[in-house]
Amino acid sequence: MKNDHYISLNGSLIKGSEAIVTPENRGIMYGDGCFETLKSYKSRFLKWDDHMDRLKEGLAYLDLEMPVKSDELKKEVLEVIDANHLVDDEAMVRIQFWREGGRGYKSTSKTSSRMIQVSEYDRSTAALDLMTAQTRCIPSEALERRYKLSNGLNYIKAAQEANKSQKDDAVMLTVNGFVSETTIANLFWIKDDEIYTPSDECDILPGITRGIIIDLLNEMGHLINTGKYAPGPLYESTAVFLTNSLIEIQEVQTIDDIKFKTGHSTVENLRKAFQSYKMENLSK
């Protein structure tokens, strides 16, 4: 893809180098906005409506109006995909909204601007090496955790820890020391043929793919335990895997140099079930 790729800014298709935002952009100054990331499967999408529902709810949480309908936004996304010659490829789609208005925390503006970016998706499927971050998750009592809010500084700090330790990602804990998520994904682990994942009470972003995975595992007859777990049970598990809308399902081979089994039969069967689900549910 060309370096000067196309984006959509408030519904207008332009080159990225031509994008202009004001110096008092509230998204830049305060992270005052929210976003969605999802994968384009050759211009088809999985759970588009769920992503849009979460985006609308996130905007409502911020007291922002959504100036465009879901089908209109999809049309804009497809235009950007086409302009960047990614119609027949897998691509990452990011839809970003931010509040219009000047500086200051007390803005009463409900008007939002939006930008759509796409890029070729070619992430490695190799098993990951993780570490446990000292940076803790923001509690939901302080900031709602169900939405992809633009200010991700705590994720950035945890990711910096992972980079300094030469790891792929970081496991994050709640302020009370329970396992929560990684900087980019939801966590699952397997022990004694049972599967565990942190509950919504653990300050996680309850991912859309996470919901699909839980449903598939239930259909496959597996017992899913959701709750508040100290790190010990995670470290003592047999296998660990991550989920999100881009990586889908990706195994973990180490956490803090503790080794886990890869190629676990449950994970392999889950991947096959997810592929079947995906083929049946992708939509334009």
pLDDT tens track for 128-157: 999 999 999 999 999 999 999 999 999 999
Predicted local confidence at residue 3, as pLDDT = 59
Q: How many domains does the chain have?
A: 2
The pLDDT > 70 percentage for the chain reads: 99
Say whether 157 sits in a helix, a strand or coil.
helix
pTM above 0.85, yes or no: yes
The answer on 75 and 55 residing in a single domain is yes
With respect to residue 1, please indicate whether it lies within any of the assigned structural domains. Answer: no
Give the residue from 120, 137, 172 where a domain finishes: 120
Segment 11-29 shows an average pLDDT of 89
In this structure, are 249 and 185 located in the same domain?
A: yes
> Does residue 170 surpass a pLDDT of 60?
yes
Q: What is the CATH number of the domain that holds 110?
A: 3.30.470.10
Q: Exposed/middle/buried for 232, CB within 10 Å: 0-12, 13-18, 19+? A: exposed
Looking at 120, 140, 159, the residue that finishes a domain is 120
Same domain, 86 and 146: no
CA distances from 165 to 31, 103, 161, 170, 257 (A): 27, 37, 6, 10, 11
Tell me, yes or no, whether 110 and 239 share the same domain.
no
CATH of the domain at 221: 3.20.10.10
My answer on whether 114 and 139 are in the same domain is: no
For residue 246, tell me if it sits in a domain. Answer: yes
User: Domain check: are 185 and 269 in the same one?
Assistant: yes
Decide: residue 22, CB within 10 A, 0-12 exposed, 13-18 middle, 19+ buried. Answer: exposed
The residue among 51, 85, 120 that closes a domain is 120
Same domain, 89 and 138: no
Residue ranges making up the domain that contains 209:
128-281
Of 252, 247, 251, nearest to 207 (Cα)?
A: 247
pLDDT at 1: 41
